[in-house]
Amino acid sequence: MTSEQEIERIVRVYRSYHESPSIREQWDSRNRGNRAIVRERQREIARLLSIHGFYPLQDRRILDVGCGSGYELSRFVEWGAVPENLYGVDLLPYRIDTAKRRFPDIHFQQGNAEKLDFDTTYFDLILLFTVFTSILDDGMMQNIAAEVNRVLKPGGAVIWYDFRYNNPRNPNVRKMTKRMLIELFPGYSLDFRSITLLPPLARRLGYSTHVLYPLLMNVHFLRTHYLGFLIKQHN
């Protein structure tokens, strides 16, 4: 498969997601389980930023690759990042249009992350949330990893979040493993953990979410995603 074919496939798949009422309902932000998933992820990211000495964020340039409508990137403002230092790139124009409307102080641009329109070693932090898991072509995945490495400063970090299991109901995604990540970013130091309660289960917890979500998270195989903090070493 060529990158062009893979891009066409990704655009087609995400258009179908966008047009599907059932998929939009699955990720409704009013669902208590979905809110618990986001809170847990944000708590873990904040902890990793603290552990690895990335605060304060005021002078940090941050790039979100596959930024969607900009929500994940915008949350960094809550931790002290400055909007004009935040950048988002997404393949899909309608997502970028939405992001620009909702977060006009943040820089967003449509583009293919195989060729990022930024200077070398420009960013301190780069977000990759469910990006690689949505790419079935190894060559495209390697190209994006190489571009991320190019625009990231030595001592900077990639914050990576992806599926740790294949989804038998969705052939358009695939699991990512620690070994795959190490191969994509050789020489990076890696802090790696499993998070996120199985979403179909989390969404069914209802009013008991605040009690059951942390309890069920103790069951290792129910954690469906990996969160990685990858630090680029100085040469």
Q: Parallel, antiparallel, or unpaired: how do β-strands 223-231 and 189-197 relate?
A: antiparallel
Q: What is the CATH number of the domain that holds 208?
A: 3.40.50.150
Instruction: Confirm if 176 and 162 have CB atoms less than 8 A apart.
Output: yes
Q: What is the pLDDT of residue 23?
A: 80
Average pLDDT score over residue span 171-179: 92
pLDDT score for 195: 97
The length of the chain in residues reads 235
List phi, psi (to 5°) of 234.
-70, 140
In terms of Cβ atoms closer than 10 Å to its own Cβ (0-12, 13-18, 19+), residue 119 is exposed
Q: Whole-model pTM?
A: 0.94
Write out pLDDT tens, residues 32-44. 999 999 999 999 9
Q: What residue numbers bound the domain in which 57 lies?
A: 3-231
Our count of domains for the chain comes to 1
